[in-house]
Chain A
Amino acid sequence: MASIKEQFEIPGTLKTWSYALIGIGGAALLYGMFTKGFSSDEHEQVHFWGTLMYNTIFWTLVTNAAMFFLCFSTMAMAAWMQSFRRIAEAISTLVPIFGGITLMVLLYVVLSHNHHIYHWLDAEAVAKDPILKGKAGFLNPTFFVIWTTLTIVLWSYFGYRMRQISLEADVAPMDAATAHKYNVRSMVRSGFFLVWFGLTVASTVPWLWLMSIDSHWYSTMYSWYTFASSFVAGMALIALWLIYMKNKGYMELSTSEHLHDVGKFMFAFSIFWTYLWFSQYMLIWYANIPEETIYFKNRVQGSYKPIFFLNLFINFLCPLLILMKRSAKRNFTLVAFMAVLILFGHWIDFYQMVMGSLMKEHVSLGWLDFGILAFFVGVMILMVARSLASKPLIAKYHPFLKESILHQV
């Protein structure tokens, strides 16, 4: 273990790139905010706030997926991910930051009563509408604000507790009794996160944040669909950082064996995402009830058709055919390429989920989308790198580390 590089030093090029992305993206974000976000034209407003919303929600859920990965692995007493757990931890440190941005954006939208984004904010329309009246116990500003705040605060807090207990594994070797106690404590802490994750990402939060844009429409698949989308993108992000760190000569203990398993997650959850995509689509297609098909009307037959099918192509066919082979999942170049493709694909997925409902007539994909994306990518790169540099790269006295080093697929 003596030759292991435990301390990450942020390379200059990474800093330059992330500052450039933040600069360009920040400029686009501010320019968009003042020309569109605060303009008097409601279409411009919807364009800006919708674009910012899906970007910030996407990145919050993707970074939170890294903590979800750590927690369910801990719960299952998985050992293989210990050699690169600090990468997942570093990605999850973004939850308070991106979550904070999400919270501000959503609070602004709800408290300014922007009913062009959330139709249920229009009190007059709700009073006349039996469907929305029936949903009012759930879709109302008070509940939205409280639940959203609670969600983001608790994700951040439980995630922080998980990262803290991981640091204890840096201090001193553990004997069997201590190690056992440590595992139990880790599992209890991850349990808190998982329960809260189930109550939020896997159920209520996608309903509140995304599905309620189509206030009348609902789908029981929606939350799982959102979860699958963000989780597979989260695994792709972990893979990308793992490959980057390997390229820079760190993470000596993680090998193609570990990459293989991360690749399996990317492959399997791409299929899982497609399963949910198809289940949602086929049931609505089969029943052919107008209030349900409205969601797919402009996506399958309207202007969003190319994006809708591009989404399926990138997120299903590409992972299925390219990642299927064992040798592909062990190839660093190929996995890096697929990780970028999957991240982009699910970003497009979130794009059509939000903007496909907000701007039905035409596809708005343009400088604003890519500008805001650049901002989030820049912040992500910089903050993950800083977080990686702030603690040792290996939890070197973790009881499961040895098993992780010996991991063989």
Chain B
Amino acid sequence: MAQKKFVVGCFDEEKVLFPAVKQVRAAGYKIKDVYTPFAVHGLDHALGMRETSLHTAGFIYGITGTATAISAISWIFTKDWPLNIGGKPHFALPAWVPIIFELTVLFAAVGMVMTFCYLCQLAPGVKKHHFHKRATDDLFVMVIECTDKTNTDDLKALLSSNGAIETDVQVAEDGWWFGTYDKEDNLYNEKQLA
């Protein structure tokens, strides 16, 4: 993966963050992401992100589960190993519905979790650069990707004038890597030392 240059602006309030997102986008900068301590309603719209297609994937997984269950059970009970169960017909659809339902749910649930992990690049051992540690605590951290033409000082000034309490420039890994961090960050210990 590639090293890139980012400008990072930290905000401590939602109501400051939203107009700032609007201003930065209007100025033509490309926001990589905004890292927040909790899910912020409407932020995805403000960032202009498209709707996720995770649910479409879920529907396809579900249909796959339904089809798997119907074809497997009907083959087993009518062709492969027909059994007389209480004199019921071999093709006993009502009795199969619970299993069809369960398999639909199983396929949809497992498939969606795995797709979600894939889309968010989450897996054991996968590491990503943390732009600001307090993004998991009480800061809204806006990360803007720089191009060759980006004037970082102008951008930092823009962020500050829109209410950022802290700005800086970081050169960091853009994607994910497999392994460890160079230095294990531990906010708690650092505070104790200070």
Which residues of chain A have a CB within 8 Å of any CB of chain B?
278, 281-282, 285-286, 288, 324, 326, 408
Given contacts A326-B55, A408-B41, A408-B42, contact A282 B97 (CB under 8 A): yes
Cβ A286 vs Cβ B59 within 8 A:
no
Q: Select A286's contact among B51, B55, B95, beta carbons within 8 Å.
A: B95
Q: Once the chains are docked, how many angstroms separate the CA of A286 from the CA of B96?
A: 11
Beyond A286-B86, A324-B59, A326-B55, 7 additional pairs, beta carbon < 8 A: A278-B97, A282-B97, A282-B98, A285-B94, A286-B94, A288-B86, A326-B51
The answer to whether B94 touches A282, judged by C-beta atoms less than 8 angstroms apart, is yes
Distance A285 CA – B51 CA, assembled complex (angstroms): 44
Chain A proximity mask over B35-60: 1 for CB below 8 Å, otherwise 0: 00000011000000001000100010
**Would you list 18 pairs from A and B whose C-beta atoms are within 8 A, ordered by A residue?**
A278-B94, A278-B97, A281-B94, A282-B94, A282-B95, A282-B97, A282-B98, A285-B94, A286-B86, A286-B88, A286-B94, A286-B95, A288-B86, A324-B59, A326-B51, A326-B55, A408-B41, A408-B42
CA of A408 to CA of B44, assembled, Å: 12
CB neighbours (8 Å) of A285 from chain B are: 94
Return A407 CB to nearest CB of chain B, in Å: 10
The A contact surface, by secondary structure, is helix
A326 to B98 CA separation, bound complex (whole angstroms): 26
Whole-angstrom CA separation of A324 from B59 in the bound complex: 9
Residue of B nearest to A324 (CB): B59
| Closest-CB distance, B88 to chain A (whole angstroms) | 8
User: How many whole Å from A105's CB to the nearest CB in chain B?
Assistant: 35
Among residues of B, the one whose C-beta sits closest to the C-beta of A284 is: B94
* CB-defined contacts of A288 to chain B, threshold 8 Å: 86
Produce 1/0 per residue, B54-72, CB < 8 A to A: 0100010000000000000
The smallest beta-carbon distance between A193 and chain B, in angstroms, is 32
Complex-state Cα separation, A286 to B51, whole angstroms: 44
Complex Cα gap A326–B54 (Å):
12
In the complex, what residues of A have CB within 8 A of residue B55's CB? 326
Q: How far is the CB of B85 from chain A (nearest CB, A)?
A: 10
Question: Which residue from chain B places its CB closest to the CB of A283 in the assembled complex?
Answer: B94
Tell me the bound Cα distance from A408 to B46 in angstroms.
14
- Contacting residues of chain B (90-113) with chain A, CB-CB under 8 angstroms: 94-95, 97-98
